[in-house]
Amino acid sequence: MLSKEPTVSEISNIWSSYLKNSMEQQFFTYFFQTAEDRKIKKIAGRLLHQSEKNLKQLQDFFSKVNLSVPRGFTEKDVRLNGQKLFSDHFILFFCHDITQLSLSTYPSALSESTRKDIRDYFEITLKFTLKIQNEIVDLMLSKGIYQEHPQLKMEDRIEFARSLKYLNGFMGGSRPLNAPEIANISRIIHRAQFSKMIFVTFSTIAESNEMKDHFSKGRDLTEKVLSSLRDIMKNEQIPLSSSGDYQIFDVDIPPFSEKIMLFFVNTCLGIFCFTMISQALTSSLRSDIVIKLLSISKDMSLFYGKGLLIAIKQKWLEQPPQAAGRRV
């Protein structure tokens, strides 16, 4: 029995997965070449092998349904000159971040698919990602670099909010943060710490003034986010784990193209930014936190919107598949 024609959702998810895996292949190739720690190098190698395997399956799918294979990213987007840009620990954080993106996108892609070959693809890739993500976390814990959330003693009783004061966050009348609010804020802070160092790294190695300026603005904006949210935790006397080991080294030649760096920022950093803020907004009840998060979301929307404009201007933005006869 022949498979049915794919839905627009299935095509969209497969297309996005191809771009993502082609990007990952270039990063993992570089990480595998430059990692010195045996265990971290093994992680990078397995991720590289899986991305290559995924790309082959995706190419076969596009051929089956008579759609052009996306251009994505190629070996032209990475320079394998042997120079080490990231410390091994930073490489491990990078791998952890990319697998988190898979864990946030593959479940919805699987749930939206009805074609068996597509469901099989996302199920297999999700199982692999879950397994290697656990191994990455275990390795980070063993090296003492995993950024854990705060550990606080919780009250062992059930209570209901007695008045609208529970929502107040201003003028000294704010209640203590609850567990979901602490978890969401610490999650955003940890994410912002990693994002800031990506912006620092990319602004350092970018070759054009336009990209240097854009990544520098991302760094400054992320520092503003960190300052704003750290103040909340400081006022509540809630301890935060220190920043990760995000060490970078000087290189003579930038290892990554500006195209792939901007794509990583626009997708990996951008998707997580809005996903985490949305999650925090839906579970935060104090008015001061909600207002801070809305302000962060507005600033980030402007920044990532500028990133898309740059991608279009540079002819780097590959258009997703479009319905026949409806071209712009």
Domains of the chain, earliest start first: 8-143 (1.20.1260.10), 166-314 (1.20.1260.10)
* Average of per-residue pLDDT across 24-46: 97
Enter the pTM of the model: 0.91
Does the pLDDT value for residue 162 go beyond 80? Answer: no
- What pLDDT, in 10s, does the model give residues 173-202? 678 888 889 999 998 999 899 999 999 999
Alpha helices in 35-112 (DSSP H): 38-64, 88-111
Measured in whole angstroms, the distance separating CA 45 from the mean position of its chain's CA atoms is 20
- What pLDDT, in 10s, does the model give residues 225-235? 999 999 888 88
Asked if 286 contacts 173 with a C-beta cutoff of 8 angstroms, the reply is: no
CA angle 171/173/176 to nearest 5° reads 120
* pLDDT band, very low/low/confident/very high, at 245 (cuts 50, 70, 90): confident
* Average of per-residue pLDDT across 93-122: 93
* pLDDT band, very low/low/confident/very high, at 3 (cuts 50, 70, 90): low
Asked if 211 contacts 263 with a C-beta cutoff of 8 angstroms, the reply is: no
